[in-house]
Structure 1
Amino acid sequence: MAAKVRKIPKKGKHEWNNIYFGDSLKGMKNLPDACIDLVMTSPPYADMKKYADGFEGFQPDNYVQWFLPYISQIARILKDTGSFILNINDKSMDGFRHPFIFELIYAIHNIEDYCKIKGIELEKVDMHGLKLFERLFWNKGKYLAHPKRFGDKVEYIFWFSKAKNRKFNMDPMRLEYDSKSVKRMERPLLKRFVREGGEEVTEYKQGGEGSWAPNPEGALPSVLIEEGAMHHVHPVEEALPEGTILITEKFDSDFHGVVQPKEGDSPHPSTIVTIGSEARRIAGNHVAVYPERLVSYFIQGATDAGDIVLDPFMGTGTTAVVAKALGRQYIGYDQVEDYVKTAMERVEKGPYVKELQETAETSSEDWYSLKKNAD
């Protein structure tokens, strides 16, 4: 029997692992402060796509002002170690790209100053505002051809957080080293470099004995998110040539002390993520679905098992499906009742992607033991 669609509850009545029917702005206002580990979402775009409830998107000139009240609530309910990951796309108008995306990012990064400049009154502007941690690019691998424009294959992904101590799990986001990089690491070692936040650690090895050692978990992630970034990389120690020197004992860092090739020398976990659309497989009547692998990539990178993931524009439930499969709790909202029904059905059926199905099987027992009360 199909699960009953639930409307947004009153303050103090929310439960985790539910998708509510209604405006998420109202729903988030009823959540307590600092209760969410990750907000990941893809809001309605500033385009003319027609959604199931007749909504056709906002015009770019009005988009930022419409979205800011949601941002204010997201900042309030996020934990200090939490993240907000936003998938969004821009729009071409009259032969030019509209720059509203850049206005939006500035507004989020400096929400209080922006509101003062624009004369916007928000019910509550969180004093610990969101800051832009990273910008990434999702390469969808396809585009609509236009005779006078470049093929537009990418959408933006912006990663915001409140503080530098944000939760960030590097290893699940790493890439596999290519053969050229592994070959290059066999060269005699004169210096070792570990770079993080602009800092450089150097160690000299007399005589150049040994070689560069790749991190056993793979190369750093890149701002270009490729298909390969969606799969955890198996350890590489056994494949290393004789004489390779691991320096785990010497450097206890976020990189596990293993030498990292300089940027540009290897396929970092990229700022461009290449994943094809899954819309025809799982979308139902929804016109804009992002892939399970894309959501999985960021949930693994920004949360731990048992953490709480919120999607304020849940659509047909991809965020909830993946969160549950990975042993996280979820909560979400959507204003289209049919989408909520589809999302709930998908959560019950589980993920479409095979590796997530396998993960869901191993994590289901722990997931069902998680607490339900949101307050």
Structure 2
Amino acid sequence: MEKIGNLDLNKTHLGDCMELSKELPDDSVDLVVTSPPYADTVSYGHEVEVFNPENYVDWFLQLFHEAYRFLKPAGSFILNINDRATNGERSTYVFELVYRIAKETRLKLFDRYIWFKKSALPMPGDKRLNDRIEYIFHFVKDTKKFKTNTDRVREPYKEISLRRFKNKVHGNDIINSDGTTELSQRGSSKPHPLGKKPITVFRFDTGSALRGLKHPAPFHPQLPEFFIKWLTDEKDIVLDPFMGGGTTGVVALKLNRKYLGFDINPEYIKMTEERIKGEFPDKGLNDFLKR
């Protein structure tokens, strides 16, 4: 089996990601995409003392210091993370973490994105509005050298957008073939043949795609899929240091990438192995790994 340092590729390894990440060679990983545990009440099968807002940031910064070392020069780190409101007050640990990553490690904050969840549990009480967003932060080693391929993630144009391209523009108005007018959008004079560039808000459903996973906070497959397509090439190495239910590994294999996972919970290691076997029957997976 192919290895990265002493760690087998296309496998989730049992252990603390803060320690396992130290075994990764310098400049060896193309992309990290992960969704870590919350800093308060989520139990991931083991009692981990540091998962509370008071020392979560100090604990998590260890991984980002290592990430600068093990990421390739063209690599990216995608962090999907969220906070919570407790005792009537919204926690600020996410913003403290992002600030300290940017100031205390050599990773650069390239951008931030929003995951808008089409369905989510309603917030209790009348004062707080329903919370349907999570944060996604994009860190890189070098803002000029990191790898992207936007053509792989372009989206179909809406009909109204194609009409804007097709019809004549006069000032700020579109003159339609029937003589009516409508407000125009400034920008390109013709559509891109592969579709429009995505915006920084992602709309992934949290329901049907995740049914059956015995995990308190399963990763939506479209999230790692988007970033793996955008930020890596085939055969590149994708790391999820909080592998959980195995979604990142499954998506990476489907996209012909190699994956590496870490998790501290043996139940989730077993879950990941079962998912991989279900998605890739033994013969198919073995053939895939030899390609």
Give the TM-score taking structure 1 as reference length. Answer: 0.66
1:80 to 69, 73, 83: 73
The question of whether the paired residues in 2 share the 8 Å contact of 1:80 and 1:162 is answered with yes
SS at match of 2:30: strand
1:146 to 124, 139, 142: 124
**Cα deviation per residue 1:1-29 (whole Å; 9 max; x = unaligned)?**
xxxxxxxx9x9422211111111111111
Partner of 1:131: 108
- Is 1:218 matched up with 2:195? yes
CA drift at 1:162: 0.8
Distance between the aligned counterparts of 2:222 and 2:274, measured in 1?
19
Closer, same or farther: CA 350–280 of 1 in aligned 2, 3 Å: same
CA drift at 1:347: 1.3
Quick check: 293-302 or 143-152, which moved more? 143-152
Q: Could you say which structure has the higher strand fraction? A: 2
Closer, same or farther: CA 140–80 of 1 in aligned 2, 3 Å: same
- Is 1:317 matched up with 2:246? yes
The question of whether the paired residues in 1 share the 8 Å contact of 2:245 and 2:272 is answered with yes
**Cα deviation per residue 1:255-297 (whole Å; 9 max; x = unaligned)?**
xxxxxxxxxxxxxxxxxxx33245752422x111011122111
Q: 1:1-375, aligned counterparts within 5 Å?
A: 12-55=5-48, 58-112=51-105, 129-141=106-118, 142-147=120-125, 148-163=127-142, 164-188=144-168, 212-226=189-203, 274-277=204-207, 281-284=211-214, 286-350=215-279, 367-370=288-291
SS at match of 2:262: strand
Distance between the aligned counterparts of 2:148 and 2:77, measured in 1?
12
**Cα deviation per residue 1:129-163 (whole Å; 9 max; x = unaligned)?**
21111111111222332221011001111111111
Distance between the aligned counterparts of 1:41 and 1:367, measured in 2?
24
Closer, same or farther: CA 185–365 of 1 in aligned 2, 3 Å: farther
**Cα deviation per residue 1:162-211 (whole Å; 9 max; x = unaligned)?**
112211110222222111111111233689xxxxxxxxxxxxxxxxxxx9
Q: Which amino acid aligns with 2:139?
A: F
SS at match of 2:168: coil
Deviating above 4 A after TM superposition, structure 1's stretches of 4 or more consecutive aligned residues are 363-366
Q: List alignment gaps of at least 5 residues for structure 2.
A: 172-187
The question of whether the paired residues in 2 share the 8 Å contact of 1:23 and 1:333 is answered with yes
SS at match of 1:222: coil
Closer, same or farther: CA 35–190 of 1 in aligned 2, 3 Å: farther
Distance between the aligned counterparts of 2:158 and 2:279, measured in 1?
33
**Cα deviation per residue 1:8-57 (whole Å; 9 max; x = unaligned)?**
x9x94222111111111111111110100001111111131222224487
Q: List alignment gaps of at least 5 residues for structure 1.
A: 1-8, 113-128, 192-210, 227-273, 352-356, 371-375
The question of whether the paired residues in 2 share the 8 Å contact of 1:40 and 1:84 is answered with yes
Give the TM-score taking structure 2 as reference length. Answer: 0.85
The question of whether the paired residues in 2 share the 8 Å contact of 1:327 and 1:364 is answered with no
CA drift at 1:59: 2.1
CA drift at 1:89: 0.2
Distance between the aligned counterparts of 1:177 and 1:57, measured in 2?
46
Aligned residues: 269
